[in-house]
Structure formats: C-alpha cells, structure tokens
Amino acid sequence: MNTSFPYNPHYDDPYFSPGAGFAEATHVFIRGSGLDLNIPRGITIGETGFGTGLNLWALLTHLPDCSRQSGAFPGRPQGPADALDQPAEAHSRPAGVQSSPAGSRDPAENENPMAGSQNPAEAQGQPAEAHSRPADLQNPAEERDVVDRLRGQPRERKNPAEESPELWYWSVDAYPLEWDQLQEWLQPYWDSGELSALNPGDVRSWYQALGLGLGRLGWHLSSWDFRGWRVRLALWQGDVEGMLSALGHSGVSFHGWFLDGHSPEKNPQMWSSEVLQDVGALTLPGGFAVTYSAAGVVKAGLRRAGFQVVRRPGFGVKRHMVVARKPASGPEGVFEG
C-alpha cells in the first residue's frame, strides 16, 4: 500500500486527512449535506478545490442505481446568460466588501498554523481569466450540452421518462494534479475497499478526458455514465474568482456547494467575503454549502452571503464543521420537506 502524504506545496497544507480522506469526505460533504440520504435527479453541485476529486468520487459511491429508472428533477436549475460570449473579466465586487484577512482559527481544530499562501494566478504568470471557452471537449454533443448550460439555454430534451438522471459537478483548481499523483493518493482508498464501487481504470479515463495541463486555463469537461446516471464534470483550471465570474455570467444555479479550499489561514483567497458572496448568489433557495472549516471568517462570510449557518461535529480531531442553508423562498425550495 502506498502511504505517500497528500500534500500541496503551493499552500503548505494537506489535501485531506492522510489515511482518512474518504471517511472525512463522506462525513463532511456527503453526510453534512444530507446527500447520503437523497441525491435528487438533475442535481447541480459546485465545489471550491477539486484536488484529487475525492469528494466527487465519494459522492458517486452514494449514487442510487438508476439503471432501470427514470424521471426528471423538478428543481433543475436554468438561467439566462451568455458566459461564453463574454470574457470572464475580473469579478465586479459589491461596494464596501473587503478581502477577508486570514481566518481566526480555533487551535483545538488542529489546523496547521504555518503561513505561506500564494496567489495561484500570479504563480502561473498569467491571469486565470485568460481562457473563458471550454477546452478539450470529449465530443460535439457534450460540448453543445455544456455550452447550452452555460448560456442558460435548456437543451432539447427527450421524453423525461426515457432520460438518464444527471449529476452536474462544477469545480475548480488552480493547480490540477497529474493522474499519477492523484492515483497514488487515492490508492489507499481502493486498498481499503472504500472506493471499490469505482473502477480505477474508469476514474483514470474520466479524469484524463478533462485534458488538464500547463497553461490550459478555463473550462475542461468530461462526462460519463455511472449507475444509470449521466455524470457531467466541468472543471475550471485557474483561480476560483475566474470560475465564479464565469458562472455568474452564465446564470447556472446550484443546489449546493462543497467548500474545500485549504485552511483559511493558508489559503484565504478561497474563503474571502467575495468568494462566499458569489457562492451565495449562485445558490438556489433551500440550497446548501458545507465545509470542514468552522473558522470564524468562514461562518461570518457565509452569513453575510445569505446562509443560515449551523455547526456540526467535525471529522477526527476537528471539533466542528459547518453546514449552511439558504432559506427556502417557498414550497419549491430545493431539499425542503
């Protein structure tokens, strides 16, 4: 068994709790959001911080087998916009909102206190917004679907009774991993059996279809069938602000978010007021944001972004994590009732 440490030198921080990544992803993101109990058909999830993709892989292990079922999800989000016709320019900020300082952390939560975060766009030597069109598309039909989605145009649908349920997963990473590295860090969870629902060869082809690589900023897409679901992964290679800006222009809206940046002390860009405001604005009424971090700056930012914030028992040595909900504005609010 490979025991190499899942560590990100750009932020001097681990990707997840070494040796317990799958259990942590399941506790925080899957159970924290309630998706262990119900994954609605047509669900749209956003994530800040793709890393090894462990949160997505853990979510897939909870997908119910719909190979022989069908039906459409009523809360399927859509919206009017034109992300792909506009440059994903720097985000316009609400007046008076400042970047958050590094998070005030509870030392009992065992977050690494060492500093040293770095702006990934600067580190790459070019702005993350340089490339706003999807790249490396698997095939023209998939391209059309995602482009339509980003434009807020519903694609032509077959009879919903015949259509596979969809899971949309929009994520971001400034420093996407090479497959070999990702595989090495996931291997313990194949060895333990926790990831046994997923074939490593399949995960490899799903990931490699993204076509990530040096200087390839912007959207990268991959989609595949799993347990009767159509899974669509759209990964923005570049800075989180570029991704949120592109989504803000598009009108895509989200049932929920997995907030998984490095610790706020080391990676404050991922938890800034601006980022959390954008996350809130992109979330449907009744939607959620969950995170392993219960830092004050995270809770305050989520509250300012319109979420109701609750602390829950954290994973392992972390005393608390956070589950945040956007109030439902009516009976159509997602995940209500």
Ligand X SMILES: C[S@@+](CC[C@H](N)C(=O)[O-])C[C@H]1O[C@@H](n2cnc3c(N)ncnc32)[C@H](O)[C@@H]1O
Under rule CB under 6 A, residue 239 binds ligand X = yes
**Smallest distance, Å, CB 203 to ligand X?**
12
Under rule CB under 6 A, residue 16 binds ligand X = yes
Structure-token pair, residue 44: 């749209």
CB-nearer residue toward ligand X: 26 or 269: 269
Tell me, residue by residue from 48 to 77, as one string, x for binding to ligand X by CB under 6 A and - for no binding: -xxxxxxx----------------------
What is the torsional sign of CA 249, 306, 238, 42?
negative
Residues 6+ apart with CB under 8 A from 156: none
Contact range with ligand X by CB under 6 A, out of 158-166, 205-213, 266-274, 312-320 = 266-274
CB-nearer residue toward ligand X: 152 or 261: 261
Q: Which of 136, 260, 265, 274 binds ligand X (CB under 6 A)?
A: 260
Burial of 5 (0-12, 13-18, 19+ CB in 10 A): exposed
Under rule CB under 6 A, residue 269 binds ligand X = yes
CB-nearer residue toward ligand X: 41 or 186: 186
What are 291's strand-pairing partners?
Answer: 259, 322
**Smallest distance, Å, CB 142 to ligand X?**
24
* DSSP state for residue 174 in the 8-state scheme: S
Site for ligand X in 158-187 (CB under 6 A): 172-175
SS3 223: strand
Q: Judged by CB under 6 A, how many residues of this single chain contact ligand X?
A: 24
What are 170's strand-pairing partners?
Answer: 46, 234
Contact range with ligand X by CB under 6 A, out of 31-39, 204-212, 218-226, 263-271 = 263-271
Contact range with ligand X by CB under 6 A, out of 101-109, 137-145, 267-275, 302-310 = 267-275
Under rule CB under 6 A, residue 120 binds ligand X = yes
Q: Which of 60, 270, 297, 334 binds ligand X (CB under 6 A)?
A: 270
Residue nearest to ligand X (CB): 51
Under rule CB under 6 A, residue 246 binds ligand X = no
Phi-psi region of 246 (alpha: psi -120 to 50; beta: other; left: phi over 0): alpha
Contact (CB, 8 A) for 105 and 264? yes
CB-nearer residue toward ligand X: 81 or 217: 217
What is the torsional sign of CA 82, 87, 90, 95?
negative
Q: Which of 33, 267, 277, 283 binds ligand X (CB under 6 A)?
A: 267
Under rule CB under 6 A, residue 190 binds ligand X = no
**Smallest distance, Å, CB 71 to ligand X?**
30
Q: Which of 39, 167, 217, 240 binds ligand X (CB under 6 A)?
A: 240
Give the residue ranges of DSSP H helices in the chain: 21-25, 32-33, 54-61, 120-124, 140-151, 179-191, 200-208, 240-250, 273-281, 296-304
User: Which residue shows structure tokens 């989605």?
Assistant: 149
Contact range with ligand X by CB under 6 A, out of 44-52, 143-151, 226-234, 327-335 = 44-52
Q: Which residues of 111-133 are buried (b: 16+ CB within 10 A; e: fewer)?
A: beeeeebeebbeebeebbbebbb
Contact range with ligand X by CB under 6 A, out of 129-137, 217-225, 262-270, 317-325 = 262-270
Please report, for residues 137, 202, 231, the alpha-carbon distance to residue 30 in angstroms, rounded to integers and kept in the order given.
28, 22, 17
Q: What does the binding site for ligand X look like in residue numbers (CB under 6 A)?
A: 8, 11, 15-16, 49-55, 120, 172-175, 239-240, 260-262, 267, 269-270
